[in-house]
């Protein structure tokens, strides 16, 4: 159905020119209907963005915790002139968590990228069994992240199969040793998300016009040259999409680590999300969490705005 419609649109598009994309003339009742259509989304956005952000900003300037016995709107009673932000700047636990998150991102995302790229290259042409292999390779991505956490929790037990098949003693622990716990988490994340990289990169690779590849091959380019000089430069934007997507998701990582190690041993695998979780539920330091959350939010928004402006510039 979709294929058919896109064919017709291709043949007709030339007649309409620029107006394609939205109605060339939207009447008054059309605009009215459109307003009704966006209303639920706008309402949800206001409900979940504007009001909560204001509340968070407000709370972050107080000492308020849910244990105060004071409703949140009376939090001004413990107004503290932004001391939370000062604490944040000198909170070693926060910076350590940020650093750990960055480390996971810097190791896991490149690993996923190169593995995904290699895998995608295997799938670039037709071969018997392609569909089956394709489906199997994609599976990890579909598994619930919490279940992935459980699977690797089981695998990395001292008495688990990894030690067993590597011939290591049960005392060789993965999840209770600070360094190895971090490695285990990275392995689990890589297992789950390499397929996403693979999927996106393969889409990019197949988008490289095949006549260019054929020409390069006829001119005697080796496989490696073709890959490096023809395919890679033509999938730059796809690579950017894949990496940005993974970086963002990796920064948010929670489920997997929470189930595998709960941030432990000690704080060895405590990323930003786990740090916030601990502050929220162990310390009940809600105002401080609000401040940290807002700081993270602002920095991320600045990065996103910068990235978007770069993209816009490239297009223009």
Partner 1 sequence: MVALLRPDEGSIVKTHKTRSVTIKRSFRSLAVKYALLLLACAVVMYPLFWMITMAFKPFDEWTTGSGLTWLPQNATLGNFEYLFYGQTEGLVVTLDRTIGGPLWASLVTSTCGTIIAVVAGTLSSYAVVRFNILPSLALSVLQLRLFPPLAVMIPVMVMWAFIGGVDTWWGLSLIYGIVTLPFAFWLMKTFFDEVPIEIEEAARVAGSSYWRVFYRITLPIVKPGLATCVLFVFILNWSDYLLALLLTQKEWVTLPVYMNTLNTALGEMYGMKAALGFIAAIPPIFLGLLIQKHLVRGLTFGALKQ
Residues 226-255 that bind partner 1 (CB under 8 A): 238, 241, 245, 248, 251-252, 254-255
182 binds partner 1 (CB under 8 A): no
Total Cβ atoms within 10 A of residue 268 = 18
Helix 272-281 vs helix 92-122: angle between axes, to the nearest 10 degrees?
140
Whose tokens are 């510039």? That residue is: 313
The nearest distance, CB 56 to partner 1, in angstroms, is 5
Question: CB-side exposure of 225: number of CA atoms within 13 Å?
Answer: 10
- The nearer residue to partner 1, 90 or 211, going by C-beta atoms, is 211
Which residues inside 11-40 make contact with partner 1, applying CB under 8 A? Answer: 12-13, 16, 19-24, 26-27, 29-31, 33-38, 40
Q: CA-CA-CA-CA torsion for 183, 187, 193, 194, nearest 10 degrees?
A: 120
Whose tokens are 């693979």? That residue is: 198
With residue 269 as reference, give the H or E element that holds it.
Answer: none
x/- contact string, 282-311, with partner 1 (CB under 8 A)? ----x--xx-xxx-xx--xx--x---x---
**Which residues, in sequence order, are CB contacts of 112 under 8 Å at separation 6+?**
189, 190, 193, 194, 196, 197, 246
- The nearer residue to partner 1, 56 or 107, going by C-beta atoms, is 56
The nearest distance, CB 179 to partner 1, in angstroms, is 21
Q: Which stretch binds partner 1 (CB under 8 A): 76-84, 90-98, 174-182, 269-277?
A: 269-277
Residue 91 is encoded by which pair of tokens? 């909170």
96 binds partner 1 (CB under 8 A): no
46 binds partner 1 (CB under 8 A): no
Which residues inside 54-93 make contact with partner 1, applying CB under 8 A? Answer: 55-56, 59, 66, 72
The nearest distance, CB 93 to partner 1, in angstroms, is 15
**The only residue of 70, 87, 107, 124 in contact with partner 1, by rule CB under 8 A:** 124
Collapse the DSSP code of 1 into the 3-class scheme (helix H, G, I; strand E, B; otherwise coil) and give the result: coil
103 binds partner 1 (CB under 8 A): no
Which residues inside 188-207 make contact with partner 1, applying CB under 8 A? Answer: 191, 196, 199-200, 202-204, 206-207
Q: How far apart are CA 239 and CA 114, in angstroms?
A: 11
Q: Count Cβ neighbours within 10 Å for each residue of 102-112 and write b for 16 or more, e otherwise.
A: eebbebbbebb
């Amino acid at each position: 159905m979709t294929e058919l419609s896109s064919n017709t649109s291709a043949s007709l598009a030339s007649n309409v020119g620029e107006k394609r994309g939205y109605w060339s003339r939207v009447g008054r009742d059309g605009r009215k209907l459109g307003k009704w259509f966006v209303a639920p989304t706008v309402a949800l956005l206001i409900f979940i963005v504007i009001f909560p952000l204001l509340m968070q900003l407000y709370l972050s300037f107080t000492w308020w915790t849910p244990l105060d016995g004071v409703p949140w709107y009376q939090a001004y009673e413990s107004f503290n002139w932004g001391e939370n932000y000062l604490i944040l700047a000198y909170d070693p636990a926060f910076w350590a968590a940020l650093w750990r998150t960055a480390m996971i991102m810097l190791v896991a995302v490149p690993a996923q990228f190169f593995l995904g790229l290699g895998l995608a290259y295997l799938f670039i042409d037709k071969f018997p069994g392609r569909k089956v292999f394709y489906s199997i390779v994609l599976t990890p991505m579909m598994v619930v992240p919490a279940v992935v956490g459980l699977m690797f929790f089981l695998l990395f037990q001292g008495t688990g199969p990894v030690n067993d098949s590597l011939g290591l003693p049960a005392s060789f622990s993965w999840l209770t040793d600070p360094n190895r716990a971090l490695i285990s988490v990275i392995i689990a994340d890589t297992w789950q998300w390499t397929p996403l990289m693979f999927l996106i990169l393969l889409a990019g690779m197949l988008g490289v016009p095949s006549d260019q590849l054929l020409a390069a091959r006829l001119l005697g380019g080796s496989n490696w040259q073709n890959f490096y000089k023809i395919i890679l430069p033509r999938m730059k934007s796809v690579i950017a999409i894949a990496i940005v997507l993974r970086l963002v998701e990796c920064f948010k990582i929670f489920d997997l680590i929470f189930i595998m190690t709960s941030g432990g041993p000690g704080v060895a695998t405590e990323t930003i999300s786990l740090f916030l979780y601990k502050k929220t539920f162990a310390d009940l330091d809600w105002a401080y969490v609000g401040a940290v959350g807002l700081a993270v939010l602002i920095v991320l928004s600045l990065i996103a705005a910068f990235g978007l402006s770069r993209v816009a510039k490239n297009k223009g």
